[in-house]
Amino acid sequence: MRSISAAAFWRCALLLPFVVAQHSSAAGSESAAASSAAIPSSVAISSSDAISSSAAISLSAGSSSASVASATSVASGVSLSASSAVPSLSASTLSSALSSASPAATTAFTPTPGGTEPQHTPTITPASFSPFPVPSDVPEPPVYPAVNPSNPPDVSQSPQVVPDFGPAWKTAHSKAKAKVATLSLEQKVNITTGVGWMGGRCVGNIAPLLEGDKTVWPGLCLEDSPLGVRDADFATGFPAGINAAASWNRRLIRQRGLFMGLEHKHKGVNVALGPMMNMGRVAAGGRNWEGFGADPFLAGEAAFETVLGMQAGGVQACAKHLIGNEQEHFRTSSSSDIDDRTLHEVYSQPFLKSIIAGVASIMCSYNLINGTYACENDKVLNDVIKREFGFQGYIMSDWSAQHSTMSAVTGLDMTMPGDITFNSGTSWWGANLTAFVQNGTIPESRVTDMAERILASWYLLGQDSPSYPTTNFNAFFPDDDATNEHIDVQDDHYTLVRQLGAASAVLLKNERGALPLGKKDRSIFIAGSDSGPGKSGPNEFSDQGGSDGQLAMGWGSGTANFTYLVPPVFAIQQRARQFSSSVSWSFDDFNIKLAQVMARKRTTALVFIDADSGEDYITVDGNEGDRKNLTAWHGGDNLVLAVAENNNNTIVVINSVGPLILEPWIEHPNVTAVVWAGLPGTESGNSITDVLYGDWNPSGRLPFTIAQQPSDYGTSVTLGGDGHDILSIPYTEGLNIDYRHFDSFNITPRFEFGFGLSYTTFQYSNLVVSKIPAQGASPAEQAAISAWEKGKATAIAEGSSRQLWLHRPAYQATFKIKNTGPVFGGEIPQLYINFPSSSGEPPSVLKGFTDVEISPGQTTTVTITVSRYDLSIWDVVQQGWRKPDGTIGVTIGASSRDHRLKGTIKI
């Protein structure tokens, strides 16, 4: 909310933490009073109630304004949420703060890992509102062409071309504004409020607007998941997000997004709840597999391509979970305490890239951020996402992650599923939101803005077209033929699933020519339940909450039903017939003696092991979402050792949600090869077999680090708490997550981030780093570029973090790669920036990659570009992006520790 000018707002921003610290006790008591006052009476949220007016509710007067409160988290080193309750500031008090506070001022509270901390809530007080502007971008083809979701730039142009969705958003908002102008307050509230859990066919539903027999607006269907249409039949189970990231292949990631978008659309879904882009901060995080790994650049590029693909398919994408939902343990009662720089440089980067890709919606998370619930965090929702990132769509709550009616003031636009708790019959919005407007607490202009944002996204995706499919499945009652039409949306998408599954497999070890398999492998023994079919088929467990066969996705709301699942044993047996090989197997993980006997005298033994995780509402074998440890499930380590003791050509295949500790057997002389296959989806067995037999030369690279011991990661799931108090999770590692931590503290990993072997070899040479002329840049852009080159931070403004001059290609690294091995193969060259030590950055930071395919003996020229954004650090004092002082180095190689070529960037 912005009731003071931007200039005055930010002049005070650095100094308010001092005032907050002085008044923290009063703020805490007022927060408690406001929280109590915000609890509504029971309000039914049937479709009729959702659009009806209500008598005004008596409110206790609060003492803080959202506009002033939103400045409290911008000072250096301060981790205070903007929507914390801040006492009213008199002119004399503010003047005193201006004269005595310093940028290094800190809050009165210091988080303790596993401890508790105060909760800050928005106070109930009359608020003013002025909308953020619709972008007035001027397209600059070819680097900044005007596009709409149906015609994004070709994937071959990534990242050289920055799409300009500004004109498309402007048109969509114009249509939405005209539509909203015809609606009553109750109808606008209806658009923002879900109908309640199980109130429609989809996991989330916005009721249609009706006037008599006429449909004024058809409503919305919102449906999981990030890898397929959840709770639907005849849909595809795609490879998980972690596999998409492991491919490091923009073309395949884009195509995966497109096919998922098409399947959602043809099931009649308006909003697909994905992609998921939370970071793999802790290796055991339960939902890491839904996202894109442990590096913000890789996650950002994967999010960018996924959003472009999904929305090209016609469905609204939803970037989630904003922000800090990196573990499942007490996710609804824990605070992710993240400093301003880390929030900008790590956790918000994938969301920024999604916004640049034109994402229609964003989902805020369950957890608190710096003491304030994410879905009412004014600093994050309003100032970062809507102001700084220039987001033009809408922000929805995760399911029951809303905590007050005043969340409308702090930036939330849609509540899902609409009721306060599932099937409670009450809502923070609905009739309560109407009442808050009628009694003058929340401006109707804000509700108008909420409805306009939601409708603008609907228009942006062309969902106003009469040909857009209506919902034709029932997520809750799939066997009800009256509401589930059993539409087959799979098309030929299995071909992409198989290809991406193979492209995401990472070859970790390969000795004595163990792989690829072939004529030499006359007799093959396959061990492990992970190689076979589930005892009762692929959908034996609800939401995949368990596994007794091939593991091809984790568990929770991020899943989909398998129409079919190809287990490895079937695919390997079929492929082995081409060489007349014999194949035998045992699915009993714990019958060690049987495995030992069957492994003897076989030319090859394949051991399949796995590890699972998921969302916290399902507990599997004591794993409450997050993994209890980083070891293989089902006795996998013992099985590998038993087989390896009896077979000198033991090959291990890993289906896992993330990294495992491999130390019990990785150096065993009889373990000749290891393949990390991840979660490949419905064609899992075929994808793995393609890699094992060399039909696909391994090209996957690790999207995380595999450590030698869990403590090497430096972070772990924060335990403690009882679900009633707020559990503190301090992100004290700052920028140093995953490989950055290993590099900063000189820890040797087992396999580093970006690592992956091939059946061939590659040679790098002839690095040239040069500046790209900013052709076509306007005088204003040229001035901004010149200021950046002199070390000045970007100015505080609307859309300041997504300006074209900041993101357009500015420098390029050109080099050669030669295939020096015997077979055709793909390579993933990676570019890392080495910032000057004074910058406070990790030693090496990924800022570019591409994929190339090269025949034996062939040499190809590769170019990777970087932008000024890629070369910038977040200045917490100036609140902008700036070039650090000193020399910026460039490293080109095949992993985070494979430094084959080195150069410098001359600004």
Question: What b/e string do you get for 186-200 counting C-beta neighbours within 10 Å, with b at 16 or more?
Answer: bbbbbbbbbbbbbbb
Which position has the token pair 């087989």?
643
Q: Which token pair is 89?
A: 């500031």
DSSP per position, 22-38: HTHHHHHHHHHHHHHHT
Rounded Cα distance between 503 and 730, Å, is 36
Active site residues: 398
Rounded Cα distance between 301 and 298, Å, is 5
Q: What does the DSSP 8-state code read for residue 290? A: G
Residue 422, burial from CB neighbour count under 10 angstroms (0-12, 13-18, 19+): exposed
Q: Are strands 604-611 and 523-527 parallel, antiparallel or unpaired?
A: parallel
Q: How many CB atoms lie within 10 A of CB 22?
A: 17
Q: Is 198 helix (H, G, I), strand (E, B) or coil?
A: coil
Q: Which residues pair with 706 in a beta bridge?
A: 751
Rounded Cα distance between 142 and 145, Å, is 6
**What does the angle CA 663 – CA 666 – CA 667 come to, to the nearest 5 degrees?**
105
Q: How far is CA 565 from CA 256, 562, 632, 683, in A?
A: 18, 6, 22, 6
> What count of Cα atoms within 13 Å lies in the side-chain half-sphere of residue 130?
8
Secondary structure element (H or E) that encloses residue 852, with its range: strand 852-854
CB within 8 Å of 356: residues ≥ 6 apart? 162, 163, 304, 802, 807
CA dihedral 649, 650, 655, 656 (to 10 degrees): -120
Q: Which token pair is 480?
A: 């009800």
Report which of 205, 221, 225 is spatially closest to residue 287, judged by C-alpha positions.
225
Rounded Cα distance between 786 and 784, Å, is 5
Strands (E), 705-749: 727-730
Q: How far is CA 328 from CA 22, 335, 368, 542, 716, in A?
A: 34, 12, 13, 19, 12
User: Omega before 218 cis (within 30°)?
Assistant: no
Q: Is 396 helix (H, G, I), strand (E, B) or coil?
A: strand
Distance, first Cα to last Cα, the chain? 38
Q: How many CB atoms lie within 10 A of CB 42?
A: 9
CB within 8 Å of 780: residues ≥ 6 apart? none
Which position has the token pair 């953020």?
132
Number of H helices, E strands in the chain: 24, 31
Q: Which amino acid is at 63?
A: S
Q: Which token pair is 129?
A: 């509102």
